Amino acid sequence: MQEVKIAFLGFGNVGQALARLFLDKQTLLRDQYNLTYRAVGIATGRHGVAMDSRGLDLQEALALADQGKSLHPLSAAEPPEDGLEFIRTCAADVLFENTPVNYQTGQPAIDHIRTALENGMHAITANKGPVVHAYDRLTTLAKKHGKHFLFESTVMDGAPVFGLWRETLPAAEVRSFEGILNSTTNLILTLMEDGKSFAEALAVAESIGIAESDPQGDTQGWDAAIKVAALVTVLMGVPLIPDQVEREGIENISLEDVTSAASERTRWKLLCRAEKRAGEIHASVRPALVGPDSPLFNVQGTSSAITFQSDVLGDLTLVETDPSPETTAYGLFADFINAVKPRSG
């Protein structure tokens, strides 16, 4: 039986959902993968830090976080000065890095993942910044140390967007894609079809916890742009940052615009597009009208979808219905299994 020591850097909605998933799946991990785990560290801005090489009680950690209390009473060590020191001293085998995204630089998450890899850990994240701003560097570093840098949850939560092309469809070349990749804006536009104003719809998105901490990251198209950049960087092999994606958000779409579109049997969507032409990438995020003939027409609420075109297949569409922190957590959990499961041969 292989025991894996895990640490959480970031313990918000997704981190807590991941902890619950570990608790729920511990029997499956043991029976199907011959794996057990021991949580040795949790670091969060809101609830403090807990570290114990003997293992932390995840159930108790979740209860404290749910009550808004500090995790420090669970700790057997004094809290480190910062996230980097936490990584160096927690002695984990796997770090889950789930700090807030920085669209412009990817920091400090890049340094967190670099430090984890340099200290012999697999690094798994739902943070898009390191993928966009340091994919080649971190991938090379991971290979150097015989570890994995994995990030399935960065786009479409638990849907296997990256794994589909890198593992299930070997040697296929992604030439273009078009999709709805931001749940907040899609929900806002759906609620506006029901008669809510932009402000009312945004308030609903914030109340159910799907909006970014700064919702302009959603409504101005930054979250969508960094996801486009991540897909292009990894799946099309061309480094791209959000500033290189033509970007327009949905803030100028009025209730009248949505009503008028409905009368024409069309819908407004914040469309994410990228295409490789003559070796160059043309990428954009902008509102567009789609009709009933589009596979994206009926993607409503918080759902997301993407249609890929490749050199060997016709259009291939993935749809994820109403994602949640639990689906994002599943992507992290799947990456964990792929990183640490015993390899045959």
Q: Give catalytic residues, as residue numbers.
A: 227
Q: Are 96 and 15 in contact (CB under 8 A)?
A: yes
The two structure tokens encoding residue 67: 């009550």
Q: Are 28 and 61 in contact (CB under 8 A)?
A: no
Q: Phi and psi dihedrals of 7, rounded to 5?
A: -140, 145
C-alpha distances in Å from residue 208, one per residue of 66, 127, 149: 16, 20, 30
- Provide the terminal-to-terminal Cα distance of the chain, rounded to the nearest Å: 17
| Number of other residues whose CB lies within 10 A of the CB of residue 280 | 8
Q: Are 270 and 286 in contact (CB under 8 A)?
A: yes
How far is residue 50's CA from residue 43's CA, in Å, rounded to a whole number? Answer: 7
How far is residue 149's CA from residue 143's CA, in Å, rounded to a whole number? Answer: 9
Amino acid, single-letter form, for residue 196 = K
Query: Prior bond to 108 cis, omega within 30?
Result: yes
How far is residue 300's CA from residue 345's CA, in Å, rounded to a whole number? Answer: 45
The two structure tokens encoding residue 211: 């909006």
Q: How far is CA 269 from the centre of its chain?
A: 21
- The radius of gyration of the chain from alpha carbons, rounded to an integer in Å, stands at 21
Q: Are 73 and 52 in contact (CB under 8 A)?
A: no
Handedness of CA 152, 17, 270, 313 (dihedral sign): positive
